[in-house]
Structure 1
């Protein structure tokens, strides 16, 4: 029985080993080819500049982002994870009993309380 247990996880171990060996061997091959001059290596300070969407940056590149972006991101992650919890329940809705419906109603109720709290604290409004 123990052999079957380890046999089932053998493929996972092989996958994990390959997921470490393949990228490391690619990096080593790239480094080795650069030492022999096979891979082009032309260092230039322009290659270290920040470049996005074809527009050169003006001013410093280490600007802080505004805090309101953070609040929207946190609220999005929280409510998005809650939807992930709702999906399995929705797929088995017809086969579940009344207790599962009550559990999900409590779960959605807590979620609605959190949403109402964020709305009351005016975290859902864009200021600025």
Structure 2
């Protein structure tokens, strides 16, 4: 018999992916078999941060969410190509068989990442990653009063005095409390006397 063929690096990744899929599917199958299924209206409602979902799900949202999701998806998919490159670059068998492949793959990956970084800089400089900010609009009126008069009115704080809060009548708060003797206010009695009827059953 000949030598047993070794599993390549890509084969190991494939076995890892197959094992992960089998484990996840097995967990879902076990959950389906052993868990109880008692649906009710509370369980069937959609979970929304602990709050009751109110209204329709079709709500307007900022368009920058869509742009940022596209940019993220683009770079995320392209970064997947780094993993096969890492397996080739880190392979000792390939490095021994053809040493020039190590330098070639290193230069190729620097070029690939450089293109990604240039694309990110282009998107950044173009402003696609900036959030939409409302334009600040300064209100204007057709009043003929100059703005300097408003500023002068705001600066004249000495002419306006703030009186202290008091529960006394206005005359006492204005300063007549020192001259007029303090007379106690009579206690007001209710105008009517509440009466309660007894139930007729008793």
Do structure 1's residue 108 and structure 2's residue 113 form an aligned pair? yes
Alignment counterpart, residue 82 of structure 1, candidates 56, 78, 98: 78
> Is the Cα–Cα contact under 8 Å of residues 72 and 124 in structure 1 kept in the other structure?
yes
CA RMSD of aligned residues (A): 3.6
| Secondary structure class of the residue paired with 2:131 | coil
- Structure 1 or 2, whichever has the larger Rg, is 2
TM-score, structure 2 length as denominator?
0.37
Q: How does 1:115-126 map to 2 (within 5 A)?
A: 115-126=120-131
Instruction: Give the distance between the partners of 1:40 and 1:108, measured in 2 at CA.
Output: 52
Distance 1:83 1:58 in 2: 39
Q: Paired residue for 2:61?
A: 65
Q: Which runs of 5+ in 1 are unaligned?
A: 1-38
Instruction: Give the number of aligned pairs.
Output: 98
Where do 4+ consecutive residues of structure 1 move more than 3 Å?
39-42, 46-51
Structure 1 residue 49: Cα displacement? 6.2
Deviation at 1:63, TM superposition (A): 0.9
How is 1:1-128 mapped onto 2 (pairs within 5 angstroms)? 51-94=47-90, 95=95, 96-128=101-133
Whole-Å separation in 2 of the counterparts to 1:87 and 1:49:
41
- Structure 1 residue aligned with 2:175: none
Distance verdict in 2 for CA 1:120–1:40, change over 3 Å? closer
Query: Residues of 1 paired with 2:39 and 2:76: CA distance?
Result: 44
Structure with more of its chain in helix, by fraction: 1
TM-score normalised by the chain length of structure 1: 0.54
Residues 59 and 87 of structure 1: CA distance in aligned 2, closer, same or farther (over 3 Å):
same
Structure 2: stretches of 5+ with no match in the other structure: 1-36, 96-100, 134-202
